[in-house]
Chains A and B, each alone.
Chain A
């Protein structure tokens, strides 16, 4: 009998748990991540080449994570596609994604391919290609399969060759693509040495690189804590942590109803550990302050912080300058919604109600509005790794065909609901204040790629001729650079909203965008692909060309234990 196939995109806490859940439900799983090691942002692993003998030294909850990685990646029904990027989801039901996605099929004709995961791997340490058993079969797709083709690029077989293209048509798709830092602009934020809080964390945890000697960590939210602690651990001096939320507000958000925190799988203990480390290093944690400028000649040399009110308006006369050689900033997170939007999943407004604060709308079973497509982790709400894991386990189990009435499901649902409550609390404790734009000057860069300044955004918003978002975009070029608005999108949307433009925002194709629509998240091509790669036909399904195994090399496997 043909087993159900589930493709999971993202191997962070959510995606790994989803793969685990789908395997437990008896499905074949293809787990895809653009990183070469699993773990996502929270469990960012060290490069294999470091051969670290004590990787747990910089990871919270490492042993449970390791166990899960072994179980999932070593599972005979799991194919682990490391360093592989899902660059597009193509709808095959004729419908277009909300914001007018062009059907990609018209852009590159290709043979219909129904690729499906490999049959059981015998020993995970075997070289790829040696593990395919049994004849290839192309079973009829069940009715409830998502109307989607998943377009994947896998690493080139040898250096210098183009990446390979694959097209998958799973019975269910789980999207677990996580989030990236949101950073609000301020004068000087484009100076080298100013990095996102996540970048500092990724470099310290993932490469053992300290971004600077004297560092200020600033922004809002509890994520500033682990970042500061990782920097201390890597040998930096953290001169201060600057949290824009007021002490009372953050304390209310964090200390109220501690049982919710305790329910978040050890978050309370983790928090205590982190604050203890800051106290030992005598790092001041300043509430109600914000970085309002960075200065330097060719790189950051000093930061200006100021006291801010609850709405983040600057209190005059409170500015203070600190000498630094690096500045790490994060004002919360932006979900990576490209794939969910491409799939046509309905979105819902986030807790702040800000125009770009949207997440994937999921029901009680983590199902999106598109049949067969599930979403979990930070793309459904920002609540940290334990919540992401719970959502993933639920999504994976149900995507894999597990019964919604199975005993563990009720407990998972309860825990997921606690996670959602935690997300609401986080958002309440650390809202982005409405008056942050008060620290912008006319020449402050708003769009980093195109160097569009604040004055141009204001001018475009005030000009009836460029009142429409699309026209304004062409006029100011904000959002048209290499990052395609990933960094400035939420900021520009919010500024235009405040400046009175953009009440009826439209996407780049000119379609009206409703408040819960994809807005700045609409990107038909989710990750960069070269024309040469696009021009190549997708690799055929497994089995047709034995010398070209469909299954890419497994580049991470547990070193010590090689058996499932």
Chain B
């Protein structure tokens, strides 16, 4: 067998996960519909005043994005764990960290990216101005990879544990809070005229930290689960 380079292994894992998702679209679509429905419920529950809706829009969109990401976390490793693929990955010559990074990237392409692309349409429901929608998309594009990276650690830790789906929310949601604060804060401060740069820079800093430590911690968690 020819020795596979790390980048080709990474690409192969991403391609495989995307193909698997394409073959079974319902998983991905459920998450997106969940996002749309949760966001659409808020105006019904709170009332249709536009001023109020404009104010709560960033927070509502972000909380819904957090919950939607959480919903998709269990399927990140569960199927591969069940059919033994994960063990083969751990045994393969390619470092597990690289394969895990590929899986996290694929998870983001399937959950984070569509959420960010859907957000402007939902933001229109809340009467957000066009430039605020732009900031919203940008914040989601920087923030949702952090959600996938942190979530992967939680998914790895709860792999094969009884009640894992509920447990993952307890483990992961507290760690999501900074992303929520600065993600929603970026849009709010843009609307308030303060500019979103500071918040976006902090989000990018979180992304850098999570990109460095996330795959590593996930790999450790998976090795513990596979023992």
The finding on whether chains A and B are genuine partners in a shared complex, rather than unrelated, reads no
